[in-house]
Chains A and B, each alone.
Chain A
Amino acid sequence: MEAGTPPATGVDVLIAEDSRMQARILQKRLSDAGHTVRWAENGQAALELARERRPDIIISDIEMPVATGYDFCKAVKTDPALRSVPFILLSTLSDPIDIIRGLDAGADNYVTKPYEPDYLLGRMQALLATPLGGDDDASAAMLEVTLAGQKFRVKAGRQQVLNLLVSTFENAVAKNQELVVANQELSVARDSLQKSNEELTVLNAEISRYNAQMVRDLEAAAKVQRSLLPPDDVSLPALGVAWRYVPCHSLAGDFLNIFSLDPERVGLFVVDVSGHGVPSSLMAVTVGRFLTPKISDSSILVRQGLDGQVVVATPAEVATHLNQLFQADEFSGLYFTMLYGVLHLPTGRLDYVSGGHPALVRVPATGGPPEFHGAEGFPIAFVPEIEYEQKSLQLAPGDRIYLYSDGVPEAMDKDQEPYGDEQMAACIEGGRNIPLDASVARLLTAVETWCQPAGPLDDVSILGVEWKP
């Protein structure tokens, strides 16, 4: 092939193509380039056109009805009058066997589909500039080719093999270039992905920082909450005290306490703020500020009387007062249940009030079954301007009482079955002859076992008290 070959014009081109649309596009391009174009829609018709007038070059599709491109090609290449006409096969070259078939049919050139019309024109001109010359039967030898494990015997001339080889190679180069471009695009995409990744890493680090800050804040809040609980070594005269408190998150809505109000009286309570998490725990801390035995502006349990004596508020007064305090203009939707009692140590009389809280359980020292003692009353902060009913329970020496949050009887097992009052009472009764602390621990273990494998979904609070005058 010489460089600078002038583009051939006035070439007589024969197209075999069953797609009218594709034929039309190709026909237009070739006509525009100054060539004469004839078109047939199958190999059979194309062969007839070729015999009618010998074309300068043939471009043929492969998949066609009546006669395929291979059949057509073979017919041209075995026709002495037509065999020297260059023959271009349009192939998808999806199967290596296509090359063997093309060789066998005697095709001179391959152009892979889909093709650029300019590329096809260039190919055509190159082929016309390299006349097929003297390839005849003499130089056409039987070749044996092994491809994909199959042996093929094909008869092909040297020039033909060379042309086909070059066209296959050129096709490969063109495909390779497409691959290079695709690769570059991929590489650009990869770079931008990497950049996004780096940004994500930065964001992640930021989130981690915020998270760490939040964990610290929550820990601080949890510490404040723990200050609402009795000291571990709580010790009160004439009383045994044991308690357990297991928040289901780091912050709880539950809290409990027991303390001396004056030399003769002990105050005790369990509070359960609705919901969980920060809002509930904030409310718990706020409530806790009012439920303090230290005489202060905030305590509603005790105050200094006119005569300098400590005045202890009755449980009903405490509940009614709290209910007033927590009625904001717009009810926040947060409320709490509470069982608050005042135990008179010399007599063993327990005055108590319930704001929507589960009943306390008494285990009589005399050996009778456990008893539930509750009082009616709506949760605190729920309904404005109500008075709370106060009840009294006379304890006998050695009696135990258990206060708890609804996390105990309402603890759900894996089938959503609640632990229930009955099992709770039975568990408490089963612990009547073991030390108070062990009996409280026993109840907590029973609840935690009940909720396996998920564990309690609510805060669990238990306060056990034994009167030992």
Chain B
Amino acid sequence: MDQFRRIQTGKKGDIHMVLFKDKKILDDVMLDEIKTEITQLLGKASGPDVLLDFSNVEFMSSAMLGLLGQLHRKISSGQGRLKMCSIRPEIFQVFKLTNLDKLFSIHKDAPAALATFT
């Protein structure tokens, strides 16, 4: 499925699975594109369940956390659940430094994350 440039998408039941294609998520333009694509994907669906897969991501700017915060807020206000998985230690450090590892639901890999949705 090559509908999007920055994300690869799939569905497992009602859960939207989003895989970031980029190794480095750094500049604002890229962040805007990611935001637009996820917004397009989720559309007006109220309270979707979403799993973000960070397998490919090796570097990430702190501004990406802001985008995750927006998503988190939007999804939880609609009774949906946002989960993340496959975050490598260097990236996890960014979450940890800002304490956001305690805000987000972060899991080892996709199967582990999917298991927690039920």
Contacts and interface: CB of A to CB of B under 8 A. Distances in A.
Interface of A: 274-275, 277, 279, 331-335, 337, 354, 356-358, 376-379, 382-384, 406, 410, 416, 418
B28 A379 contact: no
B69 to A, nearest CB: 5
A382 B63 contact: no
Nearest to B24: A416
B116 to A, nearest CB: 21
Contact of B70 (A275, A331, A356, A357): A331
Contacts of B66: 274-275, 331-335, 382
B28 A277 contact: yes
Interface in B65-95: 65-67, 69-70, 73, 90, 93-94
Contact of B98 (A333, A334, A356, A418): A356
B103 interface: yes
Q: Which of A382, A384, A416 has most B Cβ within 10 Å?
A: A382
B97 A358 contact: yes
Question: Helix, strand, loop or mixed for chain A's interface?
Answer: loop
A379 B61 contact: no
Contacts of A354: 99
Interface string B95-118: 001111011000000000000000
Q: Which of A358, A379, A418 has most B Cβ within 10 Å?
A: A379
Question: Helix, strand, loop or mixed for chain B's interface?
Answer: helix
B99 A275 contact: no
A378 B58 CA distance: 23
A416 B89 CA distance: 13
Contact of B63 (A275, A356, A406, A410): A275
Contacts of B46: none
A337 B63 CA distance: 12
A333 B62 contact: no
B70 A379 contact: no
Contact of A378 (B31, B70, B99): B99
Interface of B: 28, 31, 35, 58-59, 61-63, 65-67, 69-70, 73, 90, 93-94, 97-100, 102-103
Q: Which of B35, B58, B59, B100 has most A Cβ within 10 Å?
A: B100
A334 B64 CA distance: 10
B22 to A, nearest CB: 15
Contacts of A275: 28, 61-63, 66
Contacts of A357: 98
22 contacts: A274-B61, A274-B66, A275-B61, A275-B66, A331-B66, A331-B70, A333-B35, A333-B67, A333-B69, A335-B65, A356-B97, A356-B100, A358-B97, A379-B98, A382-B66, A382-B69, A383-B69, A383-B103, A406-B62, A416-B90, A418-B90, A418-B93
Given A331-B70, A376-B102, A379-B98, 19 more contacts: A274-B62, A274-B65, A275-B28, A332-B66, A334-B63, A334-B66, A356-B97, A356-B100, A377-B99, A378-B100, A378-B102, A378-B103, A379-B99, A379-B100, A382-B65, A382-B66, A382-B103, A383-B103, A406-B97
Contacts of B73: 331, 384
B42 to A, nearest CB: 15
| 4 closest cross-chain pairs (CB), A and B | A356-B98, A333-B66, A275-B63, A274-B62
Contact of A331 (B28, B58, B69): B69
A181 B95 CA distance: 70
A220 B66 CA distance: 27
B69 A335 contact: yes
Contact of A274 (B63, B99, B102, B103): B63
Q: Which of B28, B62, B63, B73 has most A Cβ within 10 Å?
A: B62
B98 A337 contact: yes
A356 B97 CA distance: 7
A378 B61 contact: no
Contacts of B93: 410, 418
A333 B63 contact: yes
A224 to B, nearest CB: 21
A277 B58 CA distance: 23
Contacts of B99: 354, 356, 376-379
A333 B59 contact: no
A89 to B, nearest CB: 60
Given A275-B62, A379-B65, A383-B103, A333 B70 contact: yes
Contacts of A358: 97
Contacts of B67: 333
A121 to B, nearest CB: 61
Contacts of A279: 28
B106 to A, nearest CB: 14
Contacts of B102: 376, 378
A253 B37 CA distance: 27
Nearest to A280: B63
B25 to A, nearest CB: 12
Nearest to A375: B99
B7 to A, nearest CB: 17
A333 B70 CA distance: 6
Contacts of B98: 337, 356-357, 378-379
Contacts of B69: 331, 333, 335, 382-383
